[in-house]
């Protein structure tokens, strides 16, 4: 996607460009008077818009609309499930894969982080061994696709293993929709979480799919909205935007085309620099993500040079000093600090063209 000043946006996993029709839907909803909890005509109209959006989101995900609880995004959705299950006493212990997003990983004792192999997939044998001795009710959190490498996790196998031990599964599916053709519900997870801004919707809205009757103690207490699961006046414009983005994603996403472009990009990167390392290529990935290291040039240096040349990409995670820390995901895959510290993530999407990627490779090759 070339933005107005000819910048090229290759950071869809951070946030995807909002669909113009979503901007229109949100701005229209912003102008609508009424609180969805009010029984008068205005309130009922806002309620109707929210329920239409719930229906659209449920269709994209492939679940009954009644299982969807809106939240302020993926972070709140993950937190609601984890804290909610702990606080209700439904689970006593939490485990997660070592490569989860911080909104999951930082809730979990590091001793309960399950390793991944060098392809970036959770080690099922280790999981099996760790869960064998597990007595107390527990929650296992594993993401559908890693945001940094795009590597897909064997969720069905994890769900089977965990359910055999009487545990529950939270699957962070934030990076899934529009980037894979997976059937989310067949993953067997008890809770699934999503975020609108990763699919061309507004930032600050997401949802949980409750595929379990387990008791969740709400983390937000108040007016009892969202069937007592998430109090607070609904973010009606955000929800309407999420619904519109879900409809557009269902209608327009072309996973095959995006993965072809990504493969073409990776071939060109390796042709330009044969010693470049692309992570997670051996396993199954979502369609749009490439994580690549060039030895001897730090991620930060690459990012700055690329930014100056007009390209938006990302790397690792920025810490409070503004420095980029090597990615915990790559480190968990057994990559050395030095190599992890020279990796960048390129994530493409519906508006990316081959000519943009060609320009990118040309500049990248000079770094």
Q: What's the closest the beta carbon of residue 197 comes to ligand PLP, in angstroms?
A: 6
Would you say 47 or 262 has its CB closer to ligand PLP? Answer: 262
Q: What's the closest the beta carbon of residue 143 comes to ligand PLP, in angstroms?
A: 5
The interface with ligand PLP within residues 194-213 (CB under 6 A) comprises 195, 206
Of positions 56, 58, 67, 75, contacts ligand PLP by CB under 6 A: 75
| Separation CA 86–CA 4 (nearest Å) | 47
Say whether 319 is catalytic: yes
Residues with Cβ within 8 Å of residue 132, at least 6 apart in sequence: 165
Radius of gyration (Cα) for the chain, nearest Å?
A: 21
Buried b (16+ CB within 10 A) or exposed e, 143-163: bbbbbbbbbbbbbebbbebbe
| Separation CA 300–CA 58 (nearest Å) | 39
| Closest of 305, 283, 314 to residue 15, by C-alpha | 314
Q: What's the closest the beta carbon of residue 365 comes to ligand PLP, in angstroms?
A: 28
Strands 324-325 and 317-318: antiparallel
Q: What's the closest the beta carbon of residue 320 comes to ligand PLP, in angstroms?
A: 18
Buried b (16+ CB within 10 A) or exposed e, 63-79: beeebbbbbbbbbbbbb
Does position 237 interact with ligand PLP (CB under 6 A)? The reply is no
Query: Do 87 and 221 meet the contact criterion of CB atoms below 8 Å apart?
Result: no
Would you say 70 or 364 has its CB closer to ligand PLP? Answer: 70
| Separation CA 130–CA 241 (nearest Å) | 42
Does position 103 interact with ligand PLP (CB under 6 A)? The reply is yes
Of positions 175, 225, 298, 314, contacts ligand PLP by CB under 6 A: 175
∠ CA(111), CA(124), CA(104), 5° rounding?
45
Of positions 57, 58, 98, 101, contacts ligand PLP by CB under 6 A: 101
Strands 324-325 and 168-172: unpaired
Of positions 1, 143, 294, 361, contacts ligand PLP by CB under 6 A: 143
The interface with ligand PLP within residues 255-314 (CB under 6 A) comprises none
Would you say 143 or 340 has its CB closer to ligand PLP? Answer: 143
Residue of this chain nearest to ligand PLP (CB atom): 74
Q: What's the closest the beta carbon of residue 48 comes to ligand PLP, in angstroms?
A: 25
Query: Do 144 and 171 meet the contact criterion of CB atoms below 8 Å apart?
Result: yes
Does position 98 interact with ligand PLP (CB under 6 A)? The reply is no
- The stretch among 85-93, 171-179, 244-252, 327-335 that binds ligand PLP (CB under 6 A) is 171-179
The interface with ligand PLP within residues 39-68 (CB under 6 A) comprises none
Of positions 142, 174, 236, 340, contacts ligand PLP by CB under 6 A: 174
Would you say 76 or 356 has its CB closer to ligand PLP? Answer: 76
Which residues are bridge partners to 96 per DSSP? 113, 141
Q: What's the closest the beta carbon of residue 110 comes to ligand PLP, in angstroms?
A: 19
Would you say 77 or 294 has its CB closer to ligand PLP? Answer: 77
Q: How many CB atoms lie within 10 A of CB 2?
A: 15
- The DSSP element (H or E) to which 289 belongs, if any, is strand 289-293
Query: Do 233 and 89 meet the contact criterion of CB atoms below 8 Å apart?
Result: no
Of positions 79, 121, 147, 153, contacts ligand PLP by CB under 6 A: 147
Would you say 91 or 174 has its CB closer to ligand PLP? Answer: 174
Does position 172 interact with ligand PLP (CB under 6 A)? The reply is yes
Q: What's the closest the beta carbon of residue 146 comes to ligand PLP, in angstroms?
A: 7
| C-alpha distances in Å from residue 359, one per residue of 38, 267, 352, 356, 363 | 53, 14, 12, 5, 7
Residue from 141, 173, 207, 319 carrying the catalytic annotation: 319
- Which residues of the shown chain bind ligand PLP in the complex (CB under 6 A)? 73-75, 101, 103, 143, 147, 172, 174-175, 195, 206
Write out the catalytic residue numbers: 319
């Amino acid at each position: 996607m070339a933005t107005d000043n000819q910048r090229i946006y290759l950071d869809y996993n951070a946030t995807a460009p909002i669909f113009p029709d979503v901007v229109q839907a949100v701005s229209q909803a912003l102008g609508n008077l009424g609180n969805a909890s009010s029984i008068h005509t205005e309130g009922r109209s806002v309620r109707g818009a929210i329920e239409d959006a719930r229906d659209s989101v449920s269709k994209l995900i492939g679940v009954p609309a009644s299982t969807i609880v809106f939240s302020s995004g993926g972070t709140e959705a993950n937190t609601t499930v984890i804290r909610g299950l702990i606080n209700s006493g439904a689970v006593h212990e939490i485990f997660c894969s070592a490569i989860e997003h911080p909104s999951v990983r930082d809730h979990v004792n590091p001793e309960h982080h399950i390793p991944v192999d060098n392809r970036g997939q959770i080690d099922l044998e280790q999981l099996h061994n760790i869960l064998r001795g597990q007595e107390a009710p527990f929650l296992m959190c594993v993401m559908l696709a890693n945001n940094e490498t795009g590597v897909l996790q064997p969720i069905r196998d994890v769900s089977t293993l965990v359910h055999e031990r009487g545990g529950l599964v939270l699957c962070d599916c934030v990076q899934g929709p529009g980037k894979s053709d997976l059937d989310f519900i067949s993953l067997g997870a008890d809770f699934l979480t999503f975020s609108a801004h990763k699919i061309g919707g507004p930032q600050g809205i997401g949802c949980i799919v409750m595929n379990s009757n387990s008791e969740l103690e709400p983390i937000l207490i108040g007016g009892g909205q969202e069937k007592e699961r998430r109090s607070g006046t609904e973010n009606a414009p955000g929800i309407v935007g999420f619904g519109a983005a879900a409809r557009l994603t269902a209608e327009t996403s072309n996973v095959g085309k995006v993965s072809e472009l990504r493969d073409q990009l990776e071939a060109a990167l390796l042709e330009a620099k044969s010693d470049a390392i692309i992570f997670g290529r051996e396993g199954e990935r979502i369609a749009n993500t490439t994580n690549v290291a060039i030895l001897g040039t730090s991620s930060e240096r690459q990012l700055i040079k690329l930014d100056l040349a007009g390209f938006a990409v990302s790397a690792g995670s920025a810490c409070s000093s503004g420095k980029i820390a090597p990615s915990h995901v790559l480190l968990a895959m057994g990559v050395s600090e030095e190599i992890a510290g020279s990796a960048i993530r390129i994530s493409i999407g519906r508006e990316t063209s081959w000519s943009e990627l060609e320009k990118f490779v040309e500049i990248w090759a000079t770094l």
